[in-house]
Amino acid sequence: MTTKNALELEPAALWGPFLDLSRIPRGSGNEAAAAKWFAERAKAAGCEVLTDKVGNVLARKKAAKGREKAIPVILQCHIDMVCEKNEGTAHDFKKDAIQVFRDGDKLRARGTTLGADNGIGVAAGLAVLESKDLAHGPIEVLVTIDEETGMTGAKGLAAGWMKGKWLLNLDSEEEGELTIGCAGGVDTVGTRKMKFGKAPAGTALRIKVAGLKGGHSGIDIEKGRGNALKVLAQVVDAASHRFQVALATFAGGNKRNAIAREAAAVVVVPAADEKALRELVAGQETAWKAAFGAIDPGLTITVGEAKAEQVMTAADADALVSLVLAGPHGVEAMSPDIPGLVQTSTNLGIVAQKDDSFEVCFLSRSAIDSSKYALAARVAAACRLAGFAAEHSGGYPGWKPEPKSAVVAHVQAVHQKVVGKPMAVKAIHAGLECGLIGENYPTVEMASIGPSMWDVHTPDEHVSIPSVGRFWDLLQEILARVPTA
């Protein structure tokens, strides 16, 4: 394969499928072609392949000779990816291939998310199915759809479909860590129908917040990174206290599970105040840069020319900006049991206009169901106080850690033999599908592993090439050493 040889990626058995998958558009809700690709590759490898009513694919591979009595293992991954790109990047996620490139010992994409989350897991599962010399027991590879926007694949998974007794989720993002638990989540969307009128006389200007790191709303929420929507609301609010500001547009963020990196608003101010407004924005940029410091040094707040024919009423504009200002965002509580682990948080992910209505989207997470729903109720209360109707959706459970399970002990023992030290056992403040799968498969023991990748859900997403090789070696050894049932 030309691309593989040009990038000199090893092991070819894993990187080849990953690069092939990167050519297929697979944003959440648009995974059908990628799922078909996986199913066809698995069939070509001689596997039994099933597809359920929601679009999940299950491939079964018979045990290697002499390993028929080994405990049946499920490898689980999701085929969709978060579609984020930098402004100015010419990329259509519905038809264009991801432009992958090598940066030393890292793999990146040009101006977009890479899709290593969870394309590496899919590629590893396919590599196992296509392997001719791996000594393994009965294997199932479950590829789910729509993990990133609602976990609808895991939610739609039927009881009794899978036969495995152990499940290895391949969606972790740190080499050397064994994940055995995760937080649950619930979405809250505030909606308000707005009234618009003719724009007043004056100058229309576009205020844009950009350059922030963003990141995964679970993994990165405790890092103190800037939220572009929050910063923009502060700037617009400050301007409104000094000038006669009419708000025409206000939008930002693309995914409810990604920290908003960019946001922009179009305002109309009296022409005489344009210079002063530009000076105010420059002052805000200086202040926010100082506030974020080394945490988010790339922040820019700029003012450019714009056009505006209509503006929101003052009451509607105030309601929208007030909700963005007051709505919860960030860490709510740390775990009292596990040092350094976030227990409860909310991400203010998206503000978007749909016709004459505005939607403000929040994702609340917690390892404790009562805390999760209490925080979601507070988000809904903030929405109502601002005159927005609030609706909850997409709730999914957390995954309760079982540190003494047989699969955890097995993975630890193999890692000790292969690497020479135990893995760090942890729970994470992010959503994995294990909690949902466990509802229909309560007797299946689960654990999660993966290579090192960073800045997932952002255009800075990158994965460690050497760690992928070590992940592949570990996975093969885990499967080869599975004991008999």
Domain coordinates in residue numbering, the chain: 2-183+398-480, 186-396
186-396: what fold?
Alpha-Beta Plaits (3.30.70)
**DSSP string for 68-137:** TTBPPEEEEEE--B---B-TT----TTTPPP-EEEETTEEEESSB---HHHHHHHHHHHHHHH-SS----
**Phi, psi angle pair for 95, to nearest 5°:** -145, -20
Tokens of 109: 């994409």
Those residues with Cβ within 8 angstroms of residue 399's Cβ, 6 or more apart along the chain or in another chain: 180, 181, 182, 427, 432, 434, 435, 438, 446
Cα–Cα distances in Å, from 267 out to 287, 310, 315, 389? 21, 10, 15, 25
**Residue 163's CB: how many other CB atoms inside 10 A?**
12
Those residues with Cβ within 8 angstroms of residue 95's Cβ, 6 or more apart along the chain or in another chain: 25
What pLDDT, on the 0 to 100 scale, is given for residue 6?
Answer: 57
The CATH number that domain 2-183+398-480 falls under is 3.40.630.10
Q: Which of 117, 130, 140, 147 is catalytic?
A: 147
Cα–Cα distances in Å, from 197 out to 200, 311, 390? 9, 6, 25
What pLDDT, on the 0 to 100 scale, is given for residue 337?
Answer: 82
What pLDDT, on the 0 to 100 scale, is given for residue 88?
Answer: 87
Those residues with Cβ within 8 angstroms of residue 297's Cβ, 6 or more apart along the chain or in another chain: 289
CA distance 256 to 113: 15
What pLDDT, on the 0 to 100 scale, is given for residue 394?
Answer: 84
Active site residue 369: no
Active site residue 80: yes
- Which DSSP state fits 149? T
What pLDDT, on the 0 to 100 scale, is given for residue 4?
Answer: 45
**DSSP string for 412-430:** HHHHHHHHSSPPEEEEESS
Calculate helix-pair angle for 12-22, 116-130, nearest 10 degrees: 130
| Percent of residues in the chain assigned helix, strand, coil, to nearest 5 | 35, 30, 40
What pLDDT, on the 0 to 100 scale, is given for residue 1?
Answer: 36
What pLDDT, on the 0 to 100 scale, is given for residue 485?
Answer: 85
One pLDDT digit (tens) per residue for the chain, 485 residues: 334 445 889 999 999 999 999 999 999 999 999 999 999 999 999 999 999 999 999 999 999 999 999 999 999 999 999 999 988 899 999 999 999 999 999 999 999 999 999 999 999 999 999 999 999 999 999 999 999 988 999 999 999 999 999 999 999 999 999 999 999 999 999 999 999 999 999 999 999 999 999 999 999 999 999 999 999 999 999 999 999 999 999 999 988 999 999 999 999 999 999 999 999 999 999 999 999 999 999 999 999 999 999 999 999 999 999 999 999 999 999 999 888 999 999 999 999 999 999 999 999 999 999 999 999 999 999 999 999 999 999 889 999 999 999 999 999 999 999 999 999 999 999 989 999 999 999 999 999 999 999 999 999 999 999 999 999 999 999 999 999 98
CA distance 220 to 214: 8
What pLDDT, on the 0 to 100 scale, is given for residue 114?
Answer: 98
Alpha helices in 253-387 (DSSP H): 274-292, 314-326, 369-385
Q: Which of 20, 80, 285, 332 is catalytic?
A: 80
**Residue at token pair 């590879």:** 141
Nearest residue to 216 (alpha-carbon basis) of 460, 467, 464: 460
How crowded is the C-beta side of 228, counted as CA atoms within 13 Å?
Answer: 31
pTM: 0.84
Can you give the three-state secondary structure of 270-287, one letter per residue? CHHHHHHHHHHHHHHHHH
Burial class, 33, CB count within 10 angstroms (exposed 0-12 / middle 13-18 / buried 19+): exposed
Q: Are 14 and 77 in contact (CB under 8 A)?
A: no
CA distance 248 to 231: 18
CA distance 68 to 80: 32
